[in-house]
Amino acid sequence: MNIEPTDSPRPALEHAPKNSRSKARQPFLLALALACGVLLGANPFRPSDQNPDLTARGYLKFKEILSYVDRDYVDSVNAEELSDYAISRMLERLDPHSVFIPAKQQQQASSFLQSDYDGIGVEFNLFRDTVTVVAPLSDGPAERAGLQPGDRILAVNGQRVSGVHTTTEQMFGKLRGPRGSAVLLQVLRRGQPRPLNVQVTRNRIPNSSVDVAYMVDNQTGYIKVSRFASGTYDEFKSALGDLRRQGLARLVLDLRGNPGGYLDRATKMADEFIGGTKKIVYTDGKGDQYDTQTFSRVVGEFEEGALVVLVDEGSASAAEVLAGALQDHDRALLVGRRTFGKGLVQQPIALNDGSELRLTIARYYTPSGRSIQKSYRGGLAQYEQDLQNRQRHGEFFHADSIHFADSLRYRTAHGRTVYGGGGIMPDLFVPRDTTAHSAYYTRLQSLNLVREYALTYYQEHKAELEGLRFEHFNQSFRITDVQLQQLAAKAARDGVPQNAADLRRSAALLRNQLKALIARSAYGKSAYYQVLNQEDLEMQQALRAVQEPSTTAMLGLLGK
């Protein structure tokens, strides 16, 4: 970890006379030594050798103030909540990613990185304060119990969840639980005169982080990785092997919106693409305790063959490590927009009460020496506004709005210029498509009206959709002008006034999204992405790049 130098060296202290200053300090030093001994004996934390006195004084000061507040403050207080708040604010002064997670939130925070959970296996959404099933997991407990897309869940175990402002997190809490336990759902189904009671027995549910893998054509594969969870590498290996058996010769790896996760899953994935013994990432912490270097070491499944990686401002942390390593070794072409810029390493530390401290202990660097972490000198509030500032400055729309200092220039293995300074800048910039977006479109999306219309359409045409193979649906199905007008009329009834000009402007985007959402209910998640990607600008640019005859020719696009 880089340590900022002080403005000037500390002056040497003059020796105090033995008969005055040293005697005056003896009681204080004795008390401080005793305090340090108590701390060391009762707490697993060990102060560093650099400032044990300051650490002990800070601990005692906090303890004293909390005792006064708890005992003498005019109103009753929750001392534990105050402590949690104080700890969180203290960590904010360090960096944006050192965080304290209270015990009651720790399980939910950790579940993001798990590859399975105990629950009923259902994808749902909230339409006008009603929990609606989007799709039950194939062969999962919910599907076996008979839940169908479009079912509206009115109550869980007798407790009403419709019309009472239930949140997504609250529904997760109600539907998940120990495997083998039962949950009773009251469900309203289209065409049924009264609600149905459906009992579902919870089981272990896979929580896949490889959202989809399919062949775009007879040589080109596509894999989307949404996060780096405990099972991500195994899922990726399985998906890659399946595509190889289908004739994979070139690959588009989609890391857009991937917030990261376990570093070792990302480096193992990088090893599948990078041959020989090459550096993938290194970390630099305080001293050398947390300094690490990770190298490729196995013979990977796809060390040759054209490779394109899709990234955007939502790609962060471990996703940036993977993208940066592939770029630095000229193994892949990066397409999209500059990544988030999260290059701090957190160590999870379990605390005695079940809470968790995630403390930054090092920084990530790409093989060429680029620091991934963007600046946070302006404080947490400014840091959290970074993506909005990028949009305001035009970075999402114009590559020339991004300026890098010469000091941030680095070279890849083949001598191409890349830049540091926070985030990974792609080789081919693709701006956000704003031509089809409008205020009307944004309003439809924010109220979930597009998803609701698609789900209703699926319910009304379920029989004919089940009679079509996906390939036939994908080639022949079209959203008509009449259906767009039906969507607009429904939105008007829900309080969104019709806007003919904005509807025309967003028509192509709405058609594609409605078709993809209908495909999701009828044919599954893979169908959803296949439809969506057909109109995606970044995906189309990636396909043009990856379909170059070889990686060498692909890098030739960059002038190498």
Which residues are known catalytic residues?
317, 328, 342
| Exposure string for 476-500, b = 16+ CB within 10 A, e = fewer | eeebeeeebeebbeebeeeebeebe
Q: Rounded CA gap, 510 and 515, in Å?
A: 8
User: Is 253 within 8 Å of 308 (Cβ atoms)?
Assistant: yes
What are the CB-based long-range contacts (under 8 Å, 24+) for 414-421? Answer: 414/330, 414/555, 414/560, 415/560, 416/330, 416/555, 416/558, 416/560, 418/327, 418/328, 418/368, 418/370, 419/370, 420/366, 420/369, 420/370, 420/371, 421/371, 421/374
Helix 439-446 / helix 507-523 crossing angle, nearest 10 deg: 20
Cα separation, 283 vs 480, whole angstroms:
54
Helix, strand, coil proportions of the chain in percent (round to 5)? 40, 20, 40
Phi-psi bin for 201: left (phi > 0), alpha (psi -120 to 50), beta? beta
Say whether 302 sits in a helix, a strand or coil.
coil
Candidates 312, 245, 311, 232; CA nearest to 272 is 232
- Dig out the tokens for 295 from the structure: 């190298």
Within 10 angstroms of residue 130's Cβ, the number of other Cβ atoms is 16
Do the bridges between strand 210-215 and strand 220-225 make them parallel or antiparallel, or are there none, so unpaired?
antiparallel
Query: Is 359:336 a contact under the CB 8 Å cutoff?
Result: no
State the distance between the two ends of the chain, measured CA to CA, in whole angstroms: 34
93-96: long-range pairs with CB below 8 Å, 24+: 94/360, 95/344, 95/360, 95/376, 96/376, 96/380, 96/383, 96/384
